[in-house]
Amino acid sequence: MHLPIIYQDEYLVAIHKPAGLLVHKSLIDKHETQYAMQILRDQIGQWVYPLHRLDRPTSGVLLFGLSKEIAQLMGEQFEQRLLQKTYWAIVRGYINNEGIIDHPIKPTADFKRDKERMAQKEAQEAITGYRRLGTLELPYLVDQFPTSRYSLVELSPQTGRKHQLRKHLKHLSHPTIGDPKYGKSKHNHFFKEHFNCHRLLLAATQLTFTHPITHAPLTISAPVEDVFSDISQLFTP
């Protein structure tokens, strides 16, 4: 596998991670043999340090440091919430034009043995801004109405909890299309049958931060692609 590099200098490298690819080796998917970290390391011929994470089914901008020192400097920006992250999602229903989701969420258990322990933990602060980019109404009965409505949404998380965007959209009753964990199976199945869409329609489209060495502002973008791009073009403002 060859990963598309969308930014690279002597300190940082960013790729457009495809949906379905793990960032690094994980006990959750211990049988998987392909990881973005390993593929990129072999591709550019040097060690890389992942600076943040994207869920396996989420595509988009993924940033790596090229040394431990850079990883530490960038880690401070992430901890202090100095970066601006932007995502696109396609969700069920017509979401409000814009808003802030301020809804604490509990940590997600990766294994069944951890569910009880995680359930006892306090919910953590989680804040997401959103803006509706467009809407789409299709003349098909998918759930209980004669037509089915969807929204294309831009999301700006201010915190970085696991599955935060997917959980927050479910909290608003506008779950992400293609989400097997927090979504609606009827709509997921419809998109598979009607659009041949077999992925989560959530993508990290932009990352803005201060370069750790030059201190210049830097914005890295990765537009949605393939079936996500095709479907998003059907939406009207």
Closest CA to 191 of 145, 232, 144: 232
CA distance 48 to 154: 29
- The catalytic position among 9, 29, 42, 55 is 55
CA distance 92 to 137: 10
Specify whether 55 is catalytic.
yes
The rounded distance, in Å, linking the Cα atoms of 185 and 179 is 8
Residues 6+ apart with CB under 8 A from 12: 63, 64, 65, 66, 70, 74, 211, 212
Could you give the residue numbers annotated as active site? Answer: 55
